[in-house]
Amino acid sequence: MTKENITSSIGKTLDRFINNKQSEFPFATGELSQLLRDIALAGKIINRDVNKAGLSDIAGGHGSTNVQGEAQQKLDVIADQRFVRALTNGGEVCAIVSEEEDEIIHVNPNSRYVVAMDPLDGSSNIDVNVSIGTIFSIYRRLSPVGGPVQMEDVLQKGINQVASGYILYGSSTMLVYTTGHGVNGFTYEPSLGEFVLSHENMKCPESGTIYSINEGAYYSFEQSVRDYIDYCKREKYSARYIGSLVSDFHRNMLKGGIYIYPKTESAPNGKLRLMYECNALAFIAEQAGGVATDGMDRIMELELTELHQRSPLFMGSKKMVEKAQSFR
């Protein structure tokens, strides 16, 4: 089959989809479109690295720690380098915030977009062949183009995102993103080297019977969280938690469910990072009809005061998040 036949039989490529969507915005300059393509390119390269991790010397610990004090996996560092290089070469980014980088990476002062990312979330799962993911969030800078990037450009609320998404390196590799006009999912076709539209206009069911939380920490949760977990058990819900946020979130969005990482005794502000994990996925969740809160307040309305700020996260089907919050 020719490339055209394959794509015509299985759908629209990401490139074609981006071009079509751009044409719907008369003032679009093409810069955001190019940035999305740059992210997809980095995802293809990381997909190749992840798929061969067991066969090359890129699995396992890197022997360093990130700003969070967490041991970095070799692929954490590789993924970070791939993204920084792709975004730098793409020319559309003025600054990058990465989970793997202590400080802001200043790129092109003449560009208007800021990218916040977790290059490879859940990377401790790599060595045991469990799905992992990239999470990204895109903002328009607030300070004048041409000048140095300011903290105001990166410490923006989630409601200011112009786009966000994730790449899931799982049984198949998928790129899912939103620009504020719905959520669409693309499955990577290795024989083409293309992401092809496979999940158009994704919606999160209003309710569900899957709950995702690390119950090993049950006794370090607030009583309201324990009460909700007990409720889920009485309702005979399914417990699904694989230690990879992107995977748990993706499954819950498709089938209905809730993901909770609450504050604990050891993580009084929660574990997940507000800028490049919570906000990025909250945008997707809300665009698909779900919700994302910190247990009380809307994630995308939370003020950011530091780059690697953490937040509790309750995210997924609207009615399940509301029920969980009703136990407070």
Other beta carbons within 10 angstroms of residue 101's beta carbon come to 17
Nearer to ligand P6P (CB atom), residue 138 or residue 272: 272
Query: Phi, psi at residue 20, to the nearest 5°?
Result: -65, -45
Residues 52-111 that bind ligand P6P (CB under 6 A): none
Q: Judged by CB under 6 A, which of 79, 163, 168, 245 binds ligand P6P?
A: 245
d(CA 199, CA 183): 9
Give min distance, CB of 250 to ligand P6P, in A.
12
Q: Judged by CB under 6 A, which of 100, 121, 153, 189 binds ligand P6P?
A: 121
Nearer to ligand P6P (CB atom), residue 38 or residue 100: 100
Residue 214 sits in the site that holds ligand P6P (CB under 6 A)? yes
Query: Are 152 and 130 contacting, i.e. CB atoms less than 8 angstroms apart?
Result: no
- The number of residues making up the chain comes to 328
Nearer to ligand P6P (CB atom), residue 111 or residue 123: 123
Residue 281 sits in the site that holds ligand P6P (CB under 6 A)? no
Size of the site for ligand P6P (CB under 6 A): 8
Nearer to ligand P6P (CB atom), residue 5 or residue 266: 266
Nearer to ligand P6P (CB atom), residue 36 or residue 272: 272
d(CA 309, CA 302): 11
> Which range in 54-62, 139-147, 242-250, 289-297 contacts ligand P6P by CB under 6 A?
242-250
Cα–chain center distance at 159? 15
Q: Which amino acid, residue 185?
A: G
Nearer to ligand P6P (CB atom), residue 141 or residue 273: 273
Q: Judged by CB under 6 A, which of 122, 165, 208, 257 binds ligand P6P?
A: 122
> Which range in 28-36, 55-63, 84-92, 241-249 contacts ligand P6P by CB under 6 A?
241-249
Q: Judged by CB under 6 A, which of 74, 250, 271, 318 binds ligand P6P?
A: 271
Query: For 206, how many CA atoms within 13 A lie in the half-sphere containing its CB?
Result: 0
Residue 311 sits in the site that holds ligand P6P (CB under 6 A)? no
Nearer to ligand P6P (CB atom), residue 244 or residue 252: 244
Nearer to ligand P6P (CB atom), residue 244 or residue 311: 244
Residue 243 sits in the site that holds ligand P6P (CB under 6 A)? yes
Give min distance, CB of 81 to ligand P6P, in A.
19
Give min distance, CB of 228 to ligand P6P, in A.
16
Residue 244 sits in the site that holds ligand P6P (CB under 6 A)? yes
Give min distance, CB of 295 to ligand P6P, in A.
16
Nearer to ligand P6P (CB atom), residue 121 or residue 189: 121
Give min distance, CB of 2 to ligand P6P, in A.
40
Q: Which residues form the interface with ligand P6P (CB under 6 A)? A: 121-122, 214, 243-245, 271-272
